[in-house]
Amino acid sequence: MAIVLYAESSEGKFKKVTFELASYAKKIAESLGTTVTAVAINTENVSELSKYGVDKVLQITNSKLESFNAKAYSDCIKQAAINEKANLILVSSTTDSLYLAPLVAVSLEAGFASNVVGLPVSISPFQVKRTAFSNKAFAISEMQTKCNVISISKNSYGVFENATNTSVEAFNPILSENDFGIKVTAIEKASGKVTIADADVVVSAGRGLKGPENWGMIEELASVLGAATACSKPVSDLGWRSHGEHVGQTGKPVAANLYIAVGISGAIQHIAGINSSKVKVVINTDAEAPFFKVADYGVVGDAFEIVPKLIEKLKVFKAQNA
């Protein structure tokens, strides 16, 4: 069972999810006695993947692929899979990957399973464990197709170094005008801060902050932790923060190692969107807030007193352990 993975990148640099995907692929490859091939598109320093067990990198360099295009990228991965005679294709659970994964599956007449957590339950038959019902349950899915595409939930496996001698080959897939039916006209990106998608730590706040003028302490806490800032839906709806920071089932999903919720009651849609985070810390004045039912750690109290003290303690801790 040859394995091909899409090595997702941004501005020429691999995303952290790519290293997790490579680690995951290597573990399966070891049990099957096969190899791992990564498809890298317009990416610098592809040798980085050798740290995580990738045996071969198919490097695609094409100016037309500078901006993400689901149809064109899926065609590249399809051709790479055929080239490598792969019957298992791995992608991450980022927005871009979830756009292209179904296209890859259809083009290869393959099965597709999203939200996969952990290594396959069984290889023959091929079974994977997936989250279901907004991360409230798990399902074991059996895939009966010869070729399968699976997307791995972020932070569900981890990143593990496994140094390998990696070969790099230039790969030039044949792309037609049909692959570029959709054109990217502009890209707007937040700069100078950690993005929610790539953050290991997320500090999020809700209406309990009472107004946008009080967000300074949230940004300071995030800065001390090297975290991304986020917010609840009502906050973005009120215009206190941009919609790009809205997390939850109707916003951006978060699967951070640490998620800190300040002044967020915990509506079911919000919890569903952050439930994949490993450790959840809640700070709220209301001891009956729904968020406490899913929290790993909870603090009942006034955020305007607790957060500044937390920032102070963290600064002291960092100074002592620098």
Q: Give pLDDT tens digits for 45-58.
A: 999 999 999 999 99
Q: Provide Rg for the chain, Cα atoms.
A: 21
Q: Which amino acid is at 207?
A: R
pLDDT of residue 188: 64
Closest CA to 112 of 121, 120, 98, 102: 102
Least confident of 66-75, 158-167, 225-234, 250-259: 250-259
Residue 16 banded pLDDT, cuts 50, 70, 90: confident
Provide mean pLDDT across the span 97-117.
Answer: 95
Q: What is the mean pLDDT of the chain?
A: 92
Residue 189 banded pLDDT, cuts 50, 70, 90: low
pLDDT of residue 196: 81
Angle between helix 95-107 and helix 70-83 axes, rounded to 10 deg: 50
Provide mean pLDDT across the span 192-209.
Answer: 84
Provide mean pLDDT across the span 85-110.
Answer: 94
pLDDT of residue 292: 96
pLDDT of residue 191: 53
Q: Which amino acid is at 41?
A: I
- Percent share of the chain, pLDDT over 90: 74
- A 10 A CB-CB count for 201 gives 18
Cα–Cα distance, 243 to 230 (Å, whole number)? 9
